[in-house]
Amino acid sequence: MPGRRSFSLAAVMPDLVIVESPGKTRKINQILGSGYVVRASLGHVRDLPQPQRNGSSRGQRRQTALGLDIPGGWKPDWEIIDSKAKVVRELRGLGRDGVVWLATDLDREGEAIAWHLRDLLGGSEDRFRRVTFSEITPTAVQAAFQSPRRIDYDLVRAQQARRFLDRVVGFTVSPLLSRRLNAGLSAGRVQSAALAILAARDEKIRVFRPAEFFGVDVLLAVEGHEPVQASVVDVDGGVVRFADRGEADALAAHLASVAVTLDDVAEKDASQRPKPPFTTSTLQQVASSRLKLSVSDTMAIAQKLYEAGKITYMRSDAVMVAPEAREAARNYLAAAFGAGVVPAEPPRYESKEGSQEAHEAIRPTNPAAGPEGIEPEHAPLYDLI
């Protein structure tokens, strides 16, 4: 009889994919399939040391209290956040040997989280893949995984600079504020600068001296028509203003005694361009005015819509739209309302100066999908987008 041979089949470990929010894991895992295991970091996993709330950090060296060695070149003392220790242990176990896909958000914070995870999990740089997508759809996710990249260390350093400023400004100014005003107040990188702008504006208002001037408006009686109100302007079209009321009264008296001749009537066609797609700030403004939503409620709902694959990433300062998304919108409009409503060329918008333009504007991922499957309380914001 032939001898029996035994075989050992090594288990093929799935690749680890790390996202930030647990709300994304199921949908992304469905898109990627069984060759991947998707886990969430639940946001940041590492940070500068937290100050002692019992006041025991008083008297410490400034470097120790800040968690930063400023004279030594702004070297940080990173530590794992207490509440994330279990998360880090699980991710280390799952990503011990295989390929790790860092699919954290595509903004500055997400890039920093990706770097912290890569540093904590360790191993060769070659086993880490950085992937980003602005919408959780099969097309976008699969395209991202087909074109991975390295971590963008410029973005990481930008986030670290923001975090260092938060710590330095907060630790330095907040105690001073509390001592001077005898209240438990805090100061930060953004609010301190905003307060300086408000204070400068208030000073301008305080020293402003109003100047009085007079203009002349006339009500013209037109036979067979409603009266027409008009303002007196100069030859260049500018409104005439008088520093002396007597001069204005004299002109008004003169105009009351003369007939006015209609010299010309001009008709002009006017067109109004569609408003640009939402950025984060314009979404917050319109949601507040139309839906009476707070900023925090708007962003929480937008996060849910993004995780459900209904809209693109909700943190954006750009108004640009991907060409394929623009074409999909044009096709939808033509099918739903007729080709006549679709302009020959799509409107073009320019983002504000200084915009990062790291990703698209906030838009529906599928204009023809409608609100099906969306929670009732989320539908108004989706309709707005």
For residue 129, give the 3-state DSSP assignment.
strand
Q: Give the CA distances from residue 173 to residues 34, 149, 167, in Å, rounded to whole numbers and listed in that order.
A: 51, 40, 10
Q: Which of 153, 306, 313, 349 is catalytic?
A: 313
Report whether 127 contacts 100 (CB < 8 A): yes
Q: How many CA atoms lie within 13 A of 214 on its CB side?
A: 12
What six digits make up the tokens of 44? 């940041």
Cα 251 to Cα 248: distance, rounded to the nearest angstrom: 5
How far is the C-alpha of 281 from the C-alpha of 292, rounded, in Å?
15
Q: Which residue is associated with the tokens 């005003």?
A: 181
Distances (CA, A) of 311 to 87, 143, 242, 303, 368: 28, 17, 55, 9, 12
Q: Does 313 qualify as catalytic in the annotation?
A: yes
Tokens of 94: 């799952």
Question: Is residue 156 a contact partner of residue 162, using CB atoms and an 8 Å limit?
Answer: no
Active site residues: 313
